Amino acid sequence: MPTVCHDVGMADETADPGRKLTRQQASDAVTSLGWRYVLGMLRTCVPVGSLAQAAEVAVQAAAVPGSDGCLWMDVRRDRIVLSVQSPAARSATAGDVEVARQISSVVAGLGLVTGPDVGSGAPRSVQVLEIAIDALDIASIRPFWKAVMGYTDEAGAAGPEDALADAVGQGPTIWFQQMTEPRPQRSRIHFDVSVPHDEAHHRIQATLAAGGTLASDAEAPAFWVLADAEGNEACVTTWQGRDG
């Protein structure tokens, strides 16, 4: 189990843990640790044999210095999903990488592994789900979705067209896509499924094999637009292709 993230540099992490990383830097720094950079977060899944074992991982992870305030955990009987992101930065920082590194060491000490868990019979790896709503007048419909979902403004939101978030972190973020004219023959609500960059093609091929079609790959590898047999769309997205 690696203990040093050479791509970022331990000296830099110690000197400035709040330093924001580029998407490439964040991905490079944690991939060898079994973590993946997905939608601004460092995420990993630890397979476990029981709920008690998952709880033990949670306790040990929560004790890692610097984890309080940047670590989210989803504890299940067969796995624990760990996500690290500094809320103030709204992106991965050098300090987040150090937290992920220490958590991986703790997990290894328990005889377990951090990893995307692909190919081990798991239903799927880590991912982040968002709901996108096309709208002509975003400001007029946003209050409806905020109220009906019981959501709040996303952290750092600055205007009436920004995304909405579940304050307790259970539901997907909802964001709004500006339309220029009505499109009555097209689905106006779609899912964005953000997956690890090295799993996107597998997810796309599985979707095509299940009867889907590729509607557009013009923005790949940032996202691919897929559609079901009736034209309802979903996007498989990655962090790649988004840095200019």
Residues 115-142: tens digit of each pLDDT? 865 555 566 889 999 999 999 999 999 9
4 pLDDT exceeds 70? no
Triad 92, 96, 97: Cα angle to 5°:
95
8 A C-beta contact, residue 86 and residue 9? no
Phi and psi at 32, nearest 5°, equal -70, -15
8 A C-beta contact, residue 81 and residue 126? yes
Domain 10-109 has CATH 3.40.1780.10: no
Distance CA 238, CA 244 (A): 15
Provide CATH 3.10.180.10 ranges for the chain. Answer: 128-237
Tell me what the mean pLDDT of segment 3-9 comes to.
39
- pLDDT confidence band for 15 (50 / 70 / 90): low
8 A C-beta contact, residue 113 and residue 105? no
Tell me what the mean pLDDT of segment 43-64 comes to.
97
Residues 141-188: tens digit of each pLDDT? 999 999 999 999 987 777 778 999 998 888 999 999 998 887 776 778
Is residue 123 reached through a cis peptide bond, with omega within 30 degrees of 0 on the bond before it? no
Share of the chain above pLDDT 90, in %: 73
Level-2 CATH architecture, domain 128-237: Roll (3.10)
11 pLDDT exceeds 60? no
